[in-house]
Amino acid sequence: MRRPTPLPPTGRPARESYSTARASETSAPSDSEILAPVVPLGVDGASADQNSGEIPDTRDMRDREHLPSQPNVRWRDVWRAARARRKALRAEVRRFTVRQRRRRMLALGVVSSLGLLVLVTVGAAYSPLFAVEQISVVGTSQLDAEEVQNALADQLGTPLAQIDSSAIKAALVAFPLVETYALEAKPPHELVVRIVERTPLGIVETPAGFSTVDGAGVVLSTTESAPENLPTIDVEGGLGSDAFLAAGQVLRSLSDDLRPQVTAVTATSANDVTLTLGGTDTSIVWGSADESALKSLTLQKLMVAKPSESVSFYDVSSPDVAVVG
């Protein structure tokens, strides 16, 4: 009978070798691995424990070794530096003072120039160099411009800046046809008076004759006979009444073609204005002065459709429902 093969060894020796290896690692180092301690020296060559018992910082020592040495400053250098500083300060002060002086001189020059200009302008304006030598009247058609110039003759020789506006107003009030005016000075010697005349609206019969009036009831002139091309106005209450104001507003709303055809205007109140066309004696019932522009347009259309020769009256008191008879 054959003998069996022996079994392999167990893992115990392996554990023992591992334990042995760990023990060898933790064992004491050899003589070649032992290092002597490094003891730093102090500044004077003594050891650190002999000086203060503390290890000095070698970085501070290296920094001290690289510090530059203190320069050798002499009193002459200090004096020169102080002198240079004083010179620089004086130069800066001088430069600032010069700039400030220049600004001050510039401002003084500007103010002086403006003052001189104002003085010369005022002096010239109030001097005889700009006295009125000519009066021009502009905008008159019914007025005589020469009469207006003669009324303002007392302003001749007066400086343009000293024209008496109140005296001119008092002189122009004497002309009823003057509605508004404006003064314009044209140096060196001309005074221009621009006049807006009143527009004659109609004729009012008075005990003194026939007075021509405008829309405001201002009497422009009075004559013994009735002027031509102006309608007669017969209203209750006179020139200052509401009836007259309504009649004047109606006449002004008429077109330039229709107004000359009107020969008479009557009104007992502000709500019953009536016009009369002279050529055919046709009546136009207008009513109040409200919507006068629309009434005038309606009347023109009615007169085109039915001429005044073929009708006796037009009623436009209600312009939306006008009546022709």
Close Cβ partners of 138 (under 8 Å, ≥ 6 residues apart): 192, 193, 194, 195
Q: What is the pLDDT of residue 324?
A: 93
What does the block give as tokens for 219? 């009497």
pLDDT by residue, tens only, the chain of 325 residues: 455 565 555 544 444 444 444 434 444 444 444 444 544 544 444 444 444 445 555 555 555 555 555 567 688 888 888 888 888 887 777 777 777 777 778 888 888 888 888 887 777 667 788 899 999 999 999 899 999 999 999 999 999 888 999 999 999 999 999 999 999 999 889 999 999 999 999 999 988 899 999 988 899 989 999 888 899 999 999 898 999 999 999 999 999 899 999 999 999 999 999 999 988 899 999 999 999 999 999 999 999 999 989 999 999 999 999 999 8
Q: What is the pLDDT of residue 115?
A: 85
Structure tokens at 69: 């040495």
Which letter does DSSP use for residue 325 in this model? -
Q: How far is CA 13 from the centre of its chain?
A: 111
Q: Give yes or no for a cis peptide into 128 (omega within 30° of 0).
A: no
Helices (H), 67-216: 75-125, 145-151, 165-172
Residue with the two structure tokens 């046709």: 282
The pairing of beta strand 313-315 with beta strand 323-324: antiparallel
Q: Does the reported pTM lie above 0.85?
A: no
> Which SS3 state, helix, strand or coil, does residue 133 take?
coil
- Using an 8 Å Cβ cutoff, are 125 and 153 in contact? no
